[in-house]
């Protein structure tokens, strides 16, 4: 897994994904997950799709976090009847 926490105005580029793919290849790891808090450039999205890489952008990361925490968060208030 590779994680990038970039400023909101930056996108993950193809070079980041290419470097990650090379690390996986060098270590003989068949697949990996690349996660970021922002978005991927269109070139990076194309590269990831062509290489069969799993990538999560900021939106997907928030969605997955939300779905994992449903029912696990303590209520902020309890209604007294």
- How big is the chain by its Cα radius of gyration, in Å? 17
CATH code, domain carrying 62: 3.40.1350.10
What is the total count of domains within the chain?
Answer: 1
Q: Which domain holds residue 37?
A: 2-69
Q: What is the pLDDT of residues 15-66, one digit of tens each?
A: 999 999 999 999 999 989 999 999 999 999 999 999 989 999 999 988 888 8
Rounded to the nearest 10 degrees, what angle do helices 14-26 and 42-51 cross at? 30
In a domain, 79, yes or no: no
In a domain, 80, yes or no: no
pTM: 0.77
In a domain, 76, yes or no: no
């Amino acid at each position: 897994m590779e994680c990038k926490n970039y400023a909101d105005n930056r996108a993950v580029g193809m070079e980041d994904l290419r470097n990650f793919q090379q690390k996986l290849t060098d270590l003989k790891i068949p697949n990996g997950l690349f996660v970021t808090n922002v978005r991927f450039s269109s070139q990076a999205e194309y590269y990831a799709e062509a290489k069969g890489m799993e990538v999560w952008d900021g939106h997907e990361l928030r969605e997955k976090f939300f779905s994992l925490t449903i029912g696990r968060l303590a209520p902020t208030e309890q209604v007294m009847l």
